[in-house]
Structure 1
Amino acid sequence: MNEWKWIAITAFVSGAAGWLFYLAGIFLPWLLGPLFIMMVLKNTTALPFYWPSWLRNIGLLVIGIQMGTSFTSEAIGLMVLNLPLMLVITLAVVGFTCFSALALSKLTDYHYETALLGCFPGGLSQMVLLSEEVKGAEPSAVALMQTIRILLVITVVPFLVTHFIPSAGTGEGIGQRSAGLMHDPVSYLLLAFAILFILLIMRQFKFPIPFMLSPLLCVAGFNVITAEPFLLPDIPVAAAQVMLGAHLGLQMKGLKTLLAAKPLLIVIGINLALIAFCIGISFGLNALFSFPLLDMFLSAAPGGVAEMAITAYTVGADVSTVTSFHLFRIFFILFAAAPLTVYLLKKKLAPSS
């Protein structure tokens, strides 16, 4: 009973923070409001705020459905054409990360193994788990660097795209449009079963972010088959962002210790340099090939899939392009770059016979 009480309190406080951020005109209010209030309260009070993983997963399902609505036949065709570009941008970001990690290891007491896994834009939990497999890596330091990267990306990137990087569209933020469902109930029942089936398969094979990927893929397929994409109403989209924001805020614990860490300023500087590098990539692609500047920056930005997709959705960028680039990068990092890195680090540290 006490558990449900604190879930309700957390939901109320998070929703109220989102509403206040919305009234203040702050970008991504329903995501950033809950995130910041939960982060502050988690680190300054002893109150037992609680947000179970199943609520986070419901939020990811809704966000996945909304992101999937952007994947039409035309968008998927453009994704296939963009595969070489995805690989170039991903390799550029990973390469910059490797050099950044080398600089970080030289300027601090961190081993290169720790610095590299801490700099990889591949997700906090995944990188911490990988760091536990590498001798010499410090999981707590990796968590610190990944936390700082996430905090910077979800604050700096939305600020930049709002004030400095021009948008080709008018945006589709909460409250700016309304949309209804346009298909018969049987179609949605079949879609729900398909999402559940794909979700179970993805969880069985330990795919990353299955609760977001399964609805995204199913809704994309639904759009292609029916040729009539649908959009979710605003309220469930806002509620899903609150669910994700509350979860992310409560994950940012122990910040008092992190803020006292010696390499804090260096880690911040390196992450800001990575964001600047991504801006440089987007301007270069825009100048050389006339690719949309906003789409390229959000596609290259070192953020998470959900956060960057929500940002793209809000500022009117091409959500399918941004989402596909980030999905490609996270799969590349998690299934190619990170395992190869772990293997090479283990081989390097293994005693020679």
Structure 2
Amino acid sequence: MKYLRLLFLFTAAMTLSWILQTAGMILPWLFGAMVATVIFQRLTRRDTGFKKWMGDVGIFIIGIEIGSTFTKETIIDMQDDVFNIVLLTLMVIILSLILARFFTKMTGCTYETAVLATTPGALSQMILMAEEEKRADLLLVTLTQMSRIVLVVILVPFIASVFSDGAPGIPDDIEPDLTSVLVPEMLILAAGAVVLTFVLKLLKFPVPVMIAPMIGVLVWNLSTDHTFALDVEFMYLAQVLFGIRVGIQISSLVSRLNRRMVVSMLVQNVLLILGTFMIVILFILLTEHNFNDLFLSAAPGGIGQIIIVAVEMGANIAMISSYHIFRIFFILLIVAPVINIILSRNRRRRREDGEET
């Protein structure tokens, strides 16, 4: 019976995702799987049979996709703009940490929740860290990060279009699909990514299931000429698996959602986008880039959504990709571990205070 429920859940998730894709919704396979899972859980109130390792498979695939975007050409594009990339990234992240304090006061949530909810461009990573942090409100982190995607899709194209003076274009240098460039050596890549996953788990590195394949593919791209992009079907599968995982979590927590949380999430995300707008206004004084390219490079959204907007706006795709890829790696390899250390110290300090009392 459990396997039958799991089959029904997957069927419902795939069907709703396909409907949303046909309707032209952004990230339909992720949102479709989440919505289908929440509805399924509310109607059946039974165990879905979905295992944690299934969600990990989706995260592993997402890690591969992130790594595949980092090629030799991308590094070359980034070399001439390293200072601007680092400075702009730091300014946006500092802004998000400042807003975290504001978010804490608005919602009454813990600082752990606020930091994980406000860090931009890192939905999957922050949700996974929220799962591991007992003082983090997983529902608030998830919904704040997800609502930002919606607001980015609505507000960023509007703001960018005001300053756009280019014609729509298409991305250059699209990498071939994985299935069209398979070579035997890729077995070493797969094995290495799996081994590295276990090593990072032993080291208690944050989000090892995503970081290990990302690092593996990055090394592969820099050491071979067999670069690739994942077939779109793989990404659909990854979004469905991750969407079901998040949907199960949300369905168990949604009863705690209230009007104060909704208003706080909207205000925080709008402030983050508008704050980024102001940072870019100041940043124009330090660079020769136009506002449109800089704003899309700094916008607090996922690289997939931002690049789609950039194509429609006729913006500099290579530049915008470089900024967002750097921010992804900066958050994963520096910000996430630092946040993890800070949260661990807070846990240790609370335990010590408890022992003293």
TM-score (norm 1): 0.76
Contact 2:2 2:49 (8 Å CA) reproduced: yes
Q: Alpha-carbon deviation of 1:16?
A: 0.6
Q: Alpha-carbon deviation of 1:282?
A: 4.5
Aligned partner of 1:233 among 223, 231, 234: 231
Q: Alpha-carbon deviation of 1:326?
A: 2.1
Aligned ranges 1:47-196 → 2 under 5 Å = 47-79=46-78, 84-85=83-84, 87-107=86-106, 110=108, 113=111, 116-117=114-115, 119-121=117-119, 123-127=126-130, 129-130=132-133, 132=134, 139=135, 142-161=137-156, 165=160, 169-170=169-170, 179=177, 181-183=179-181, 185-196=183-194
The CA distance in 2 between the partners of 1:60 and 1:123, in whole Å, is 12
Partner deviation per Cα, 1:317-344 (whole Å, 9 max, x = no partner): 5555423312312443333255347647
The CA distance in 1 between the partners of 2:227 and 2:102, in whole Å, is 47
Q: 1:128 to 1:38 in 2, by over 3 A?
A: closer
Flag structure 2 segments of 5+ consecutive residues without an equivalent: 120-124, 312-316
What secondary structure sits across from 1:248 in the alignment?
helix
Contact 1:30 1:241 (8 Å CA) reproduced: yes
Q: Alpha-carbon deviation of 1:14?
A: 0.9
What secondary structure sits across from 1:186 in the alignment?
coil
The CA distance in 1 between the partners of 2:183 and 2:97, in whole Å, is 50
Contact 2:61 2:234 (8 Å CA) reproduced: yes
* Structure 1 equivalent of residue 122 of structure 2: none
* Structure 2 equivalent of residue 136 of structure 1: none
Partner deviation per Cα, 1:56-109 (whole Å, 9 max, x = no partner): 22222222223322211131344566654454345434433444344345556x
Contact 1:39 1:250 (8 Å CA) reproduced: yes
* Structure 2 equivalent of residue 323 of structure 1: 325
TM-score (norm 2): 0.75
Contact 1:177 1:234 (8 Å CA) reproduced: no
Contact 1:113 1:345 (8 Å CA) reproduced: no
Q: Alpha-carbon deviation of 1:201?
A: 1.8
Contact 2:37 2:247 (8 Å CA) reproduced: yes
The CA distance in 1 between the partners of 2:235 and 2:100, in whole Å, is 37
Q: Matched residues, percent identical?
A: 21
The CA distance in 1 between the partners of 2:274 and 2:251, in whole Å, is 27
Q: Alpha-carbon deviation of 1:124?
A: 3.4
Moved more, 275-284 or 31-40: 275-284
Q: Alpha-carbon deviation of 1:169?
A: 4.5
The CA distance in 2 between the partners of 1:343 and 1:246, in whole Å, is 32
Flag structure 1 segments of 5+ consecutive residues without an equivalent: 133-138
Aligned partner of 2:251 among 250, 253, 267: 253
The aligned amino acid for 1:332 is: I
Contact 1:285 1:291 (8 Å CA) reproduced: no
Contact 2:280 2:298 (8 Å CA) reproduced: yes
The CA distance in 2 between the partners of 1:73 and 1:295, in whole Å, is 22
